[in-house]
Each structure stands twice: as structure tokens, then as C-alpha cells.
Amino acid sequence: MTGDSLLKSNPLWVVDVGASGGIDPRWSEFTSFYKGVLFEPDPREYEVLKERCENNLVVLNSALSDSPREIDFYLCKKQQVSSVYPPNRDFLDRFPEADRHDIVKKIRLKADTLDNQLENNGISEINFIKIDAQGHELPILKGCERLLEGVVGLELEAGFVPLYKGQPLFDEMDRHVRDRGFELFDLKRYFWNRAQCENTGSQKGQLIFCDALYFKSPEKVMGLDGISKGKITCAICVYLVYGYLDLAQTLVELGARGGLFQEPERRALQAFVSTFEKGSTIPNFRGRWRVRSCLQRMLKLFDVNGWADSDQQIGNA
């Protein structure tokens, strides 16, 4: 059994909001049977994405928000930092390369909700949503209340400091998604050093923002309205795409107990999940974690001395 065989008649559906650079390759590495819906409001990047669009991807040049309305959009010198909110230069000027946030042009866009956009395009169910909207993540989440009911996982950029004027910060967004049944599983943190500093080596600067990974637990998935074998299979695959074997294994067992998988199906699914196991080649011994800590500190000596730093990855895969 493979990801393709599991999803051939029941593909994963992934939404990528703020899709500059294209959809995360982790999905295509797991299976060829997935559908991606990419949103990119910046007309410069939209044309690039549209030109590279593959058959399993839909690219939409729509701005998203909490309600259908007109919004300002600030096109910045560096396309990837353009936002609905104006850059907060009082804060940004403390750090190097602040000029990448220079506003090239302010345009007026018609925004819609994610719920409306997917309904208008005939898409009724999504398994995973990634939002990287330069501070505008929370209003976009508020515009997909109907959709979130069936979503298994979220990857959201969230700020700890106001890079943009008026942007909601991590605590507000975290509270919103937790109230809708999601649990926080991981953070990929980003740190910046001040512009005036030199030779900081591998020292971390200020915590600026993060990519936050949320899932609905296997128990929560089993309680979703209209739960079916297909929905559970997609949820298992979402867990595995990010390397969470324990969640996938648990959901297989819960699905079997709930009568959605017969015993041969349960064994086949557990065998598939087990192919993602990564055994340790180093035996457990006293002081192992101290040795591990020393090796990690040694590896930091090889880090490039730059002003921006981040954790290596999000999730386990």
C-alpha cells in the first residue's frame, strides 16, 4: 500500500493562501493524488504561479478576508512581504534590510471569504489549510468558519511583534483556532538580530514570528459530522505528511473500533503507517541526552553568521 493507492479515488485537498513560490513540495513527495487551491492577491506573483500551474492546482487571484469588501493592499519592494497592512517602519528599522518593506504602490482589492471562494469554485471539503498572509491570517480564518469544521490541520504564520500596523498577533490567532477544536503541535520560530550588532555568532536574536502547526486530534476527527472511511484516510495521510506517526496509528485504531475499517483494512493501514517509522541506530545509554546536547551546540558553531535565523523545520518530516 502507498499514499497513491490510498488516495487514488479520494484525493487530499489542500488550500495555500499566500502561495508565493508555489505549494509546499511535501504534498507531491507524499502522493500524486492531491488537489491544491492556491490564493495569491499580489498580481505580480499571481502571473508567475498561473504560468507554472500544474493540472492538479487551481490558482486564484483573490484577496481574502473575514467578509466580502474592498481592502487596501500594500505592494512592497520585496514581493513576499506585501500585505493588507502597512509596514511598521518604527519597528522594522531596528533590523537589517528594512528597505525591503518599502511601499512601491498601494492598490485597492475586492476581498472575499475563503468559504465563498471555494463554494464558487465547486469545492466543498478541504483537508488542510496553510495561510501565510503577512499579518492577515486571523481575518482569513474568520472568513472560513464553515470550512474549518472539516479541516484536519493548519499551518499558519503568526507574529509575536507588530511587523505591520494593526496586525493581530499570535495569542489572538492561537485562541481563535483552539476554540475551533485545533491543538498546537509545533512552532518553527524566526529570530532577528538588530542592525547595529556584529559578530553575534550563533546567538539568537529577538523572536519575531513563527509558522504554527495545528491538528485536530484523532479523537476529535472521529467526532466530526459525517465521518467516513475516506475522511479518516485523508486525515491519516495529513498526519503522515508532517511526520506524526502516533496520530496516524491512533486514528487507524479508532477507525477500526468505530467499525469504519474491517480487520484486513486495519492491518493494511497499520502496515502502511509503519513504513514511516524511523528507528534509532544509537542504543540508549546513560548520559545519551547530555551527549546529544553537546553535539547540538557543536553544530551551531557551523551556522552561517546572519542577522536572521530560524528553527530547521516544522513537524517531523
Give the chain's domains with CATH numbers.
Answer: 3-72+112-216+287-310 (3.40.50)
In three-state form (DSSP H/G/I as H, E/B as E, the rest C), the secondary structure along 249-294 is: HHHHHHHHHCCCCCHHHHHHHHHHHHCCCCCCCCCCCCCHHHHHHH
CA 79 to each of CA 30, 83, 284: distance values in angstroms, whole numbers, following the listed order: 29, 9, 48
> What predicted TM-score, i.e. pTM, was given to this entire model?
0.93
pLDDT in tens, the chain (317 residues): 578 888 988 999 999 999 888 999 999 999 999 999 999 988 888 899 988 888 899 999 999 999 999 999 999 999 999 999 999 999 999 999 999 999 999 999 999 999 999 999 999 999 999 999 999 999 999 999 999 999 999 999 999 999 999 999 999 999 999 999 999 999 999 999 999 886 666 788 999 999 999 999 999 999 999 999 999 999 999 999 999 999 999 999 999 999 999 999 999 999 999 999 876 556 677 776 677 667 666 666 555 557 899 998 999 97
